[in-house]
Structure 1
């Protein structure tokens, strides 16, 4: 296991099944696990919407996480947002407040995505065109926009560190750092872990720059 500390972020290269039991309680969990639908890679495409870049198929989306991983997540916080909640409805308790990302495009991909939350309350929708990923710099086949993850963090009630046990390319971490929140991330793919480290380091450096300028 490799551990990197970057400003407010602590990042673990390893399997969350091994790391989660060793972590203390956190302020909130905001994560986007594998859905088990084989989207761990993609072929390059072209088209009127700019197409999609190619990613190697690595196999991490061959199956969804087991129930015990969700149990371990729920043991660490009462404040939880899990993207792809419709794929995990049989292992998560029924709640009222779901989040919806309307991707702002009607193409051959899904019009939107759903996130389960641990809260009871009104459903909330964020309309955000998926071309935001071009602004962020897409580094991962299932990457979410930074603005979307900042919106998620705005929804949580818990204070303290934000945990993402399926960190991927680190978008949740970038959002947390930009919002001045501590972050704990776990990723088992070395390539994506290194990308996440760089993105979060850049976000931390940018925050330090603006803090220094304000002083």
Structure 2
């Protein structure tokens, strides 16, 4: 566990969420996309799952995320860390989560060899809500040097904007599986406080840069 990096209203931790979560104060909302413990394209047993739903067995395989499904203890820490919780892949983690009424659905707007959509578990009451965002929109969040995405399971920034609204527009948001920082970018766009945790230095560095860039853009337009 290292000293956290502070970038404006974002505090970013490089390390394991199992060690860092118990040290943090309770936040308004936890919005996160943890590893699901499934295979590529949802086929159990194949390499490359969560962080790993990728088209080739190349740069991401060494991370071993196919085997890193959160334990019951990690799920419990995440849910209790915020007044509200939004957990993507909740259908794959349902044996660890209580039954709740409101699910969020991302309709990816394309039917290809991967899943047509993804589900997020929430502990917010209400009816299921669906948003349709073409998965190609992720490319609009990337830059020329990195190609179509920063991370193999990256979510569109607009999807995370929507999650924040569905969580009741909380002021301080925590993402224990920050990845390349998309939840943090959404928080910067909306003027929210963000706490992120990421254990892979490569993605931590990308998240720092993206969040700093997002804050810079907000200052320019402000």
1:44 Cα deviation from its structure 2 partner: 4.6
Q: Does 1:111 align with 2:116?
A: yes
Give a deviation string over 1:29-59, Cα, whole Å, max 9, x none: 00000011232343459xxxxxxxx642111
1:17 and 2:28 aligned? no
* Aligned mate of 1:134, from 139, 146, 153: 139
SS of residue matched to 1:176 = helix
Distance 2:80 2:114 in 1: 34
Correspondence 1:155 to 2:166: yes
The answer to whether the Cα contact below 8 Å between 1:171 and 1:196 also exists between their aligned partners in 2 is yes
Q: Which residue of 1 aligns with 2:43?
A: none
Determine whether 1:91 maps to 2:96: yes
Any unmatched runs of 5+ in structure 1? Answer: 46-53
User: 1:56 — aligned with what?
Assistant: 60
Residue 182 in structure 1 maps to residue 193 in structure 2: yes
Are 1:209 and 2:220 counterparts? yes
Give 3-state SS (helix, strand or coil) of 1:121's partner.
coil
What secondary structure does 1:100 align onto?
A: strand
Task: Identify the residue that residue 41 of structure 2 maps to in structure 1.
Answer: none
- Give, in whole Å, the separation in 2 of the partners of 1:44 and 1:74: 33
> Higher mean Cα deviation, 12-21 or 159-168?
159-168
Q: Is the 8 A contact 1:43 1:55 kept in 2?
A: no
Q: CA deviation at 1:60?
A: 2.4
**1:55–1:140 CA contact under 8 A, matched in 2:** no
1:110-146 deviations in Å (ceiling 9; x for gaps): 0000000001210000000000011111110000000
Three-state SS of the structure 2 residue aligned to 1:27 is: strand
- Which is further off, 195-204 or 151-160? 151-160
Q: Deviations over 1:95-118 (max 9, x none)?
A: 010000000001111000000000
**Please, what is the CA RMSD of the aligned residues?**
1.4
SS at match of 1:87: coil
Contact 2:26/2:83, CA 8 A, preserved across alignment: no
After TM superposition, list the pairs within 5 Å mapping 1:1-80 onto structure 2. 1-2=1-2, 3-37=4-38, 38-39=48-49, 40-41=51-52, 42-44=54-56, 55-57=59-61, 58-80=63-85
Q: Please give the per-residue CA displacement for 1:166-209, whole angstroms capped at 9, x wherever unaligned.
A: 00000000001100000000000000000000000000111111
